């Protein structure tokens, strides 16, 4: 049996989420914008319920949620929407070297369009220095975009502190919370977050749907739409709504909110068990990321001497990742591990375990056994 430990790449749709979605494919199939008849009205009711469910996960108001095709689109809407709308106020954006490509590549595009971007470095745990953040802000800065949780090493950002700094300097704060939403508490009020991206398929919802939180008061954030058309989603994101997907996102958010604490404890215990086993049996194994401020279900480790790509390919029983799936077409070292400052060997020799609802203690024990066995085999070969 194959053990799935790549939950940062994607998660299966939870049966309760799937059940909530099913009627919206062919029974309640109306266009949520066609509210003049019952078909459309029912679809729009379902969308509004989901909007409330997603908002509740963030302590936001339902009307502050804009549905998108996922976090990539939400990040693009936040970056380009702010850069365009606030162009007269400023042309400078601050982000960080360990962001997901869905932010970094947008930032590079903005540079080509004449904007200025500061890419903050991180320390060896993947943390941004808040004094460096403060120092990077200029009178031309319009946006700080820093992720809530890193998708490779799980490091959590001090969102409330960053939000405080942004507010103090009158700069908008966007956070890509794709990996954090549903796993750690997020509160856009307390953390003073102005824009936040999330994605359903990282929290047991369907692929191809996500949302952008856009603050509507204190301050009211304006965005320039990036998709033009029928004026859906308050004119910010035109296109017929993906009703079953949105219902799935809502159900996943509601489930995550109800079960977050219990799941986090379960996942943290499994993760710690796995780390314990690897530490006990593998000489020189090291943790990538922050020892405490990290996602409960993430474990990223460096194993000296392995080439992680080949290593993973050899593990037929276990589905793991070397880093971000979204960049795995290119055989370049992970930009996240490189940014920690340990050099290429570490970036090529690291494994990412993403634990999830389907994993249990027996699977963790087996996964550790498989990895340890393979490391021992490789190291024995090298001795000859």
Indicate which residues carry an active-site annotation. Answer: 326
Is residue 196 a contact point for ligand PLP (CB under 6 A)? no
Cα 193 to Cα 123: distance, rounded to the nearest angstrom: 23
The residue among 72 and 145 lying less far from ligand PLP, judged by its C-beta, is: 72
Angle at 148 between CA 146 and CA 151, to 5 degrees: 100
Instruction: Report the 10 Å Cβ neighbour count for 375.
Output: 21
- 277 membership: H or E segment, kind and range: helix 243-281
Where in 108-147 is the site for ligand PLP (CB under 6 A)?
147
Which residue in the set 44, 145, 192, 199 belongs to the binding site for ligand PLP (CB under 6 A)?
Answer: 199
What does the alpha-carbon distance between residue 63 and residue 203 come to, in Å, rounded to a whole number? 22
The least CB distance from residue 68 to ligand PLP, in Å, is 8
Q: Which residue has the tokens 């989901």?
A: 50
**CB contact set of 196 (below 8 Å; sequence gap of 6+):** 58, 148, 174, 175, 176, 177, 186, 188, 212, 213
179 is a site residue for ligand PLP (CB under 6 A): yes
Does 242 help bind ligand PLP (rule: CB under 6 A)?
A: no
By the rule CB under 6 A, 176 interacts with ligand PLP: yes
- Closer residue to ligand PLP (CB): 55 or 180: 180
70 lies in the binding site for ligand PLP (CB under 6 A): yes
Measured distance between the N- and C-terminal CA atoms of the chain, rounded to whole angstroms = 33
- Closest residue by Cα to residue 302 from 337, 346, 244: 346
Are the beta carbons of 184 and 156 closer than 8 angstroms? yes
334 near ligand PLP (CB under 6 A): no
**70 or 163, CB closer to ligand PLP?**
70
Residue 354 interacting with ligand PLP (CB under 6 A): no
Q: Which residue has the tokens 């087996």?
A: 366
* Whole-angstrom distance, CA of residue 55 vs CA of residue 2: 36
Dist CA 216 CA 338 (whole Å): 38
Stretch that binds ligand PLP, among 69-77, 224-232, 234-242, 297-305 (CB under 6 A): 69-77
Among residues 90, 210, 225, 354, which is the contact residue for ligand PLP, using CB under 6 A? 210
Considering only 50, 57, 65, 71, the residue that binds ligand PLP (CB under 6 A) is 71
E-only strand ranges, 200-270: 210-214
Length of the chain: 384
Phi, psi of 244 (to 5 degrees): -60, -40
Total binding residues toward ligand PLP, as defined by CB under 6 A: 13
Least Å distance, CB 332 to ligand PLP, is: 17
- Can residue 151 be called a binding residue for ligand PLP (CB under 6 A)? yes
Q: Of the two residues 319 and 372, which places its CB atom closer to ligand PLP in the complex?
A: 319
> Exactly one of 7, 51, 100, 294 binds ligand PLP (CB under 6 A); which one?
100
**Which residues here bind ligand PLP, judged by CB under 6 A?**
70-72, 100, 102, 147, 151, 176, 178-179, 199, 210, 326
């Amino acid at each position: 049996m194959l053990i799935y430990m790549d939950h940062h790449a994607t998660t299966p749709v939870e049966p309760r989420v799937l059940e909530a979605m099913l009627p919206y494919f062919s029974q309640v199939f109306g266009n949520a914008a066609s509210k003049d008849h019952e078909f459309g009205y029912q679809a729009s009711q379902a969308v509004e319920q989901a909007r409330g469910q997603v908002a509740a996960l963030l302590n936001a108001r339902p009307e502050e949620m804009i549905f998108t095709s996922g976090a990539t689109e939400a990040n693009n809407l936040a970056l380009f929407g702010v850069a365009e709308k606030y162009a007269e106020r400023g042309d400078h954006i601050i982000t960080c070297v360990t962001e997901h490509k869905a932010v970094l590549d947008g930032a590079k595009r903005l540079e080509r369009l004449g904007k200025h971007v500061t890419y903050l470095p991180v320390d060896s745990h993947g943390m941004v220095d808040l004094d460096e953040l403060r120092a990077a802000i200029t009178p031309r800065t319009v946006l700080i975009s820093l992720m809530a949780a890193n998708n490779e090493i799980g490091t959590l950002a001090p969102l409330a502190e960053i939000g405080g700094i942004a507010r103090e300097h009158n700069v908008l704060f966007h956070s890509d919370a794709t990996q954090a939403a549903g796993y750690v508490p997020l509160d856009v009020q307390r953390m003073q977050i102005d824009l936040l991206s999330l994605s359903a398929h990282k929290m047991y919802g369907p692929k191809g749907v996500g949302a952008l939180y856009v603050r509507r008061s204190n301050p009211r954030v304006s965005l320039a739409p990036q998709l033009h058309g029928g004026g859906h989603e308050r004119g910010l994101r035109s296109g017929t709504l993906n009703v079953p997907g949105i219902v799935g996102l809502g159900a996943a958010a509601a489930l995550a909110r109800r079960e977050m604490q219990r799941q986090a404890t379960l996942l943290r215990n499994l993760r710690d068990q796995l780390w314990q086993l690897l530490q006990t049996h593998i000489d020189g194994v090291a943790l990538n990321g922050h020892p405490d401020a990290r996602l409960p279900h993430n474990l990223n480790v460096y194993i000296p001497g392995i080439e992680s790509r080949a290593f993973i390919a050899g593990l037929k029983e276990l589905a793991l990742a070397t880093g971000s799936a979204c960049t795995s077409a290119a055989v370049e070292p992970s930009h996240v591990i490189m940014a920690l400052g340990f050099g290429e060997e570490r970036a090529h020799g690291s494994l990412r375990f993403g634990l999830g609802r389907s994993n249990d203690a027996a699977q963790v024990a087996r996964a550790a056994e498989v990895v340890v066995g393979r490391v021992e085999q490789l190291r024995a070969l090298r001795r000859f």
